């Protein structure tokens, strides 16, 4: 009967050690996941700032006043005289 008690204590000791190792491993995985999450959030924030800057730049380059200035200055385009404009109605 004493051998069964020693075996039971040994099994329980092994279970406690395995449980402790599992807890340490799980915490380490949690820390690593948190660090990765923080890095990804920082990257997301930087990309959001860049996206806003690019939207503003696109709006600036595509403004009708800028396009008209380029069309008149670089391409020599002009508005047609009023008599040459025809209205088409369906």
Q: Residues 24-77: pLDDT tens digits?
A: 999 999 999 999 999 999 999 999 999 999 999 999 999 998 989 998 899 889
Q: Tell whether pTM > 0.85.
A: no
Contact in structure between 53 and 59 (CB atoms under 8 Å): no
| End-to-end CA separation in angstroms for the chain | 105
Q: If you ran DSSP here, which 8-state letter would residue 63 be given?
A: -
């Amino acid at each position: 009967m004493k051998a069964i008690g020693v075996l039971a204590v040994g099994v329980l000791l092994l279970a406690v050690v395995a449980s402790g190792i599992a807890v340490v491993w799980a915490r380490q995985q949690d820390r690593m996941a948190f660090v990765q999450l923080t890095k990804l959030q920082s990257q997301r924030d930087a990309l959001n700032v860049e996206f806003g800057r690019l939207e503003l730049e696109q709006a600036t380059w595509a403004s009708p006043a800028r396009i008209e200035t380029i069309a008149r200055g670089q391409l020599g385009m002009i508005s047609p005289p009023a008599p040459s404009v025809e209205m088409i109605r369906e």
